[in-house]
Structure 1
Amino acid sequence: MQNQQGSVFDSQVLGHPSALFVLFFTEMWERFSFYGMRVLLVLFLTAGLLSDNPGWEWPRENALALIGTYGSLLYLTPLVGGYIADKFTGYRMAVVIGCVVMTLGHAAMAVETKGFFYLGLALLVIGTGFFKPNITSMISTMYKGKNEKKDGAYTIFYMGVNAGAFFGMMLCGYLGENFGWSWGFGLAGIFMMLGCLQFWLAKPIFGNIGAPPSQLKMLQAEDVADEIPDIAGGPVVVNEATDKRNPFKLLDYVLIVVSAVGGLLYLFNDPLEKIEKINLLPFTVGNLSGTSFVVLLALVSFLILLISRIARYSAITRDRIIAVCFCGLFTVFFFMAFEQSLGSMTIFADSYTNRELEGSAAMIFKIIDALLTTVPLIIVSWVLLKLFGQTFKRISVSNIILGITFIGIWALVLFRLFNKFSEPGNTIDASWFAILNSFFIISLAPLFSKWWESKYNPSAGMKYGFGLILLGIGFGILAYGAWEIPQGAMTAKVSMIFLILAYLFHTMGELCLSPLGLSYVSKLVPPRMIGFMFGVWYLAIAVGQKSAGAMGGMIDKISNEYSIGTFFLIFTVVPMGMGLIAILLSPVMKKLMHGIR
């Protein structure tokens, strides 16, 4: 492994292996396609059949039920994709499989028929399962034994994530809203395909990194912990070497199957029942509907499984795992509210926000929009040229493909700006507001990073508390802005400043939480339980995703009975309440961690 890494580090860009930047651009195009498609989903599904850009005119509840299930499955399939890569394909081939399957998914969605639409979503879920866990595993393998450089590597990679999301939502959103939904869905697929090609053709630069297990020597047991991506940067701690083996028992497997099958039945039944009027659970148990009974059974089974597994460990390890469970609970509530960004907040941008600008205000916005678009693209293009200088002789065809993608991006950006400046006024696309999250992350991440590295670095409980409270403040601003909208109104013209400020506070909340999750799992959980607890962690995010869709789908019901301001007030009170609980529990969590930070 050391010789392999040495050759990878021979060719460097900005102090890191050139191979890292190949992964950077691969991730950028995958996030471009993923977020570019996702930002259009709720707009396409809820757009009127007779509108200028006709959609399917689904009720908002139905659209968000489907999006919630889709978002939830995206965090469950990586558990399977990671396992397949570890046992059979290797990381590199798994990434390629993921890219190809996602490209087919985007192509299917561009057809805009119900059958192809569902097929496209299914392929995107499967493709993400192969792609998501394995590209980060390649980085972890690349930096094996070089922990001091991991922080910078993941920071660079994270910039690729946000750059892709930024340009994907901007350009796919622009084409989808202004020229037809198929253009937006199709553009996402084109860049996914080009990203796949540039990655596959760059394979000589990776050496044995990400190769199939049959081609690699078995890692020594003491090296296993280093394979876990260390998102927050600190050392991975191997806990409680004296803990006896804790193998899964027959009851454990039964509980896993019951909770997994019950959860999946609910995920699929919810949109099917609402949209297609197909009920997979058409029975009752006492006063409980089939759906309620299955959800309750799955929840109880999972809790019994988790508690029984934790109870078998020594006291210190048990405490640390309980601390991870607290973090998982707060994560559910965070994502339940945060993921309104591509659901109810996009609906608010589309139907309740004044997006019309005239005169000097329109011109000022156009200039700001042009700077927001071109400055990041110039910076990323500069990185591209640096990569060309180091790798063109070795992976020339891959570089040519990558160059073509950037020519395409520049052409689309200039086309969009030309059209915007040609308009006498300016109508802001509803999808434009979603790019603010990526912009604020890129702008604010260095400041938060300095905070975490200072002597004022708060504990985990405090960070969760701050993140949830900031998230609640953002929704409080939206609730205040929407308070005068009449009960049951389906449209309004609220100032866009409320939505912009909401995204600002939500991003600050995300920056408080985003570094914590996988890092604390890797530090606090004993190696023999790492896989299980990573599954629990992704399950927490999946539950948050589905809860976001279920809660967001109540926007019309709550608006009709009370007001849309009341709807957003719920997302103000609940996260802030959970944030205060996290702060109050901070000393308890600190004690449970037994010195791990």
Structure 2
Amino acid sequence: MTTTNSNEAFGHPKGLIYLFFAELWERFSFYGMRALLVLYMTKQLLFTDDMAFGVYAAYMSLVYVTPMIGGILADKILGFRKAILLGGVLMALGHFFLTFEHPIFFYGSLGLIIVGNGFFKPNISTFVGDLYQKGDTRRDSGFTIFYLGINLGAAIAPLACAWFAETYGWHYGFVLAGIGMVAGLLVFNKGLKNNVFEDKGLVPNQEIYDSKWLGLNRGKLITILAFLSVPAFALVIKFHEFEHYLVWIISMFLIGYIFYILSTVNADEKKRLIVAVYFTVLYTLFSAIFEQAGSSLTLFADRNVNLVGMDAAGTNSINAGFIILFAIPFSMLWTFLSKRKKNPNSPIKFGLGLMFLGLGFLIFALSAQSIDEFARTSMMYLVLGYLVLTIGELFLSPIGLSKMTELSPLKYVSFIMGVWFSANFYGHFFAGKIAKLTTVTQGETNVFTKGFFGDITEFITGITPEIAMKNGDNFQQLFSYVSVYASFGVISIGVGLLAILIAPIIKKMMIDIH
């Protein structure tokens, strides 16, 4: 079913345009800072690789756990509009405070961004789904266009922020990221003033919102508590080695709340919710491998790739650049295939997404076949690997965003969107563990250089531990990277094949959802 009315532009609701640009600028700020973070820690703050990966993984994982809380608060009290505005303000402050080189400001800034993202990220994505009626065939296309906005920001930001950081100093790069967040807020606010969202995204129950506790209405109280929670998240990042305790706490909360939802919904909604959890588990694996991009792949590019035309921070824009090229063609492809009833169903798309991801990392590993005397590889492999895993991302990530809004029971939609983003929490937590496998200790090798995976690594890269150690530190570091990439590439392809095999069972549980 496709609905049309006067409040549309380019075949989609007008609100999509404003959410597209608001998300574009928000992601500009987020990915601009992310591209600088590991390099800033290792080069300016002089953190070890191990410590930088730990801080980065803790920060990036927490950024994706707070959306569960922000989703619940938007569902019950705030509504999408107020949650997005609150989140944007917190994130803008976080980026600007990074300009002060002091541990309190460094960890506090990361805490502000974590809390702000919790209010902003799940609710703007859910807001997109709210623009379309259930069964609207434009939904997947709309989310793919929205995903283009995410990646326009993600493509421009690393190049722009890296140039400012390189030319004027690290802190100017962070300032530019903050300006991007302010721009996103202004675009969203303009959409509110122009009433393009009509009656969507408002406070769900004004009476509950206005009810008093400690002399304040619940809406204002949430704002105060949001700011007060920042030091707690800053401390978790500071003492990131204890983050696994938080993983257990969040896991118990998630499992408990999902079982609660299962007890309140009908049989069809139960099946769909189980599928939403299944998709989230697959996305967790995807995220854990894919998110080497901001950590170990950035250092791999810096140390072991002959870069042309950009620095290591700028390589973070390659993936987003390919999404810009392919998002609209993929959006048109899904619409084209739907009209001919040949559009692969979502479980198959998830399996294909994982297989393309794995192939991309095999290409990164294959780059070892072309190393020079300085243990540096051709940039061609880096670009080609990013191209292939980007195709995998387009099969999986925007489709997952779209399906969460369809699979979740209506009154829990923002929470379920938060559950979807929890895949990034777990993904980044495990991505940090994977990245740490690439760190080099003199005379030692990682677990993927021996046995079955060692054979795979040798077959793909042509390098053995003995060859790497004989040729010095640079070769040993390169071997550490490519052995991990080859092994996780194979794992991803294997899980993708399994997902395709069981796709008919999963599709049946989705009832009438494609």
TM-score, with structure 2 as normaliser: 0.76
Q: 2:362 aligns with which of 476, 482, 490?
A: 476
CA 339–321 in structure 1, closer or farther in 2 if over 3 Å, else same:
same
- Structure 1 residues 148 and 517: alpha-carbon distance in aligned structure 2, compared to 1, 3 A threshold: closer
Shift of 1:307: 6.0
Distance (whole Å) between structure 2 residues aligned to residue 553 and residue 273 of structure 1: 13
**Secondary structure in 2 matching 1:556:** coil
* Alpha-carbon spacing, 1:499–1:42, altered in 2? closer, same or farther (3 Å): same
Residue correspondence of structure 1 range 223-242 to structure 2 within 5 A: none
Which of 389, 396, 415 aligns to 1:513? It is 396
Q: 1:326 Cα shift?
A: 2.5
Aligned residues: 450
Which of 340, 343, 358 aligns to 2:295? It is 343
CA distance in 2 between counterparts of 1:431 and 1:497 reads 17
Matched ranges for 1:34-183 at <5 A: 34-47=30-43, 55-143=44-132, 147=136, 150=139, 153-183=142-172
Aligned to 2:325: 443
Superposition pairs of residues 321-470 of structure 1, within 5 angstroms: 321-356=273-308, 428-453=310-335, 454=337, 455-470=341-356
Spell out, residue by residue over 1:398-447, the C-alpha distance to the aligned partner (whole angstroms, 9 max, x if none): xxxxxxxxxxxxxxxxxxxxxxxxxxxxx521122221212211222344
Which amino acid in the other structure matches residue 29 of structure 1?
Answer: W
Cα distance in 1 between the residues matched to 2:134 and 2:262: 31
Cα distance, 1:306 vs structure 2:
5.0
Alignment CA distance shift 1:138-1:525 (3 Å): closer
Q: Distance in 1 between matches of 2:12 and 2:260?
A: 44
For 1:429, the aligned partner's letter is: D
Change (3 A) 1:115 1:532: closer
Q: What is the letter of the counterpart of residue 91 of structure 1?
A: F
1:555 aligns with 2:427: no
Once residues 147 and 594 of structure 1 are traced to their aligned partners in structure 2, the CA distance between those partners, rounded to angstroms, is 16
From the superposition, tell whether residues 321 and 88 of structure 1 become closer, same or farther in structure 2 (CA, over 3 Å): closer
- Please report the RMSD computed on the Cα atoms of aligned residues, expressed in angstroms: 3.7
Change (3 A) 1:305 1:340: same
Deviation string 1:98-147 (CA, Å, 9 cap, x unpaired) is: 22222211111111222111111111112222222333444455556894
CA contact (8 A) 2:69 2:118 kept: yes
Cα distance in 2 for partners of 1:194, 1:347 equals: 30
Instruction: Give the one of 239, 254, 266 matched to 1:272.
Output: 239
Cα distance in 1 for partners of 2:426, 2:295 equals: 16
CA contact (8 A) 1:19 1:205 kept: no
Which residue is 2:456 aligned to?
Answer: none
Moved more, 461-470 or 517-526: 517-526
One-letter amino acid of the counterpart of residue 72, structure 1: S
2:334 maps to amino acid: W
Kept in 1, the 8 Å contact 2:107–2:235? The answer is: no
Q: Distance in 1 between matches of 2:10 and 2:254?
A: 46
2:54 is matched by which residue type in structure 1?
A
Deviation digits for residues 168-188 of structure 1 (CA, Å, limit 9, x no counterpart): 121012222343211111111
Instruction: Give the secondary-structure state (helix, strand or coil) at the position aligned to 1:110.
Output: coil
Task: Report the 3-state secondary structure (helix = DSSP H, G, I; strand = E; otherwise coil) of the residue aligned with 2:489.
Answer: helix
* Cα deviation digits, residues 340-377 of structure 1 (max 9, x gap): 11111111111111125xxxxxxxxxxxxxxxxxxxxx
Distance between the aligned counterparts of 2:503 and 2:296, measured in 1?
A: 31
Indicate whether 1:573 and 2:459 are aligned: no
Matched with 1:585 is: 502
Which residue among 18, 28, 33 is the counterpart of 2:29?
A: 33
1:226-277, Cα deviation, whole Å (9 max, x unpaired): xxxxxxxxxxxxxxxxxxxxxxxxxxxxxxxxxxxxxxx9996575155xxx
Q: Provide closer, same or farther for how the CA distance between residues 320 and 153 of structure 1 changes in structure 2, counting only shifts above 3 A.
A: closer
Gaps of 5+ in 2: 209-231, 446-464, 466-478
For structure 1, the 5+ residue unaligned runs are: 48-54, 219-264, 281-290, 357-426
Contact 2:74 2:414 in 1 (8 A): no
Quick one: percent identity of the two aligned structures? 36
Q: Name the SS of the counterpart of 1:457 in structure 2.
A: coil
- What CA distance in whole angstroms lies between the structure 1 residues aligned with 2:151 and 2:51? 29
Instruction: Give distance in 2, aligned partners of 1:267 and 1:114.
Output: 10
Supply the distance in 1 between the matched residues of 2:298 and 2:127 (Cα, whole angstroms). 34
**How is 1:491-506 mapped onto 2 (pairs within 5 angstroms)?**
492-506=375-389
Kindly indicate whether the alpha-carbon contact (under 8 Å) linking 2:268 and 2:511 is maintained by their aligned counterparts in 1.
Answer: yes
Whole-angstrom distance in 2 between the partners of 1:214 and 1:584 = 41
Could you say what secondary structure the match of 2:305 adopts? coil
Give the stretch that moved more between structures: 446-455 or 541-550.
Answer: 446-455
Give distance in 2, aligned partners of 1:168 and 1:456. Answer: 37
CA distance in 1, matches of 2:58, 2:89: 22
Paired residue secondary structure (2:239): helix
TM-score between both structures, scaled by the size of structure 1: 0.66
- 2:424 aligned with 1:541, yes or no? yes
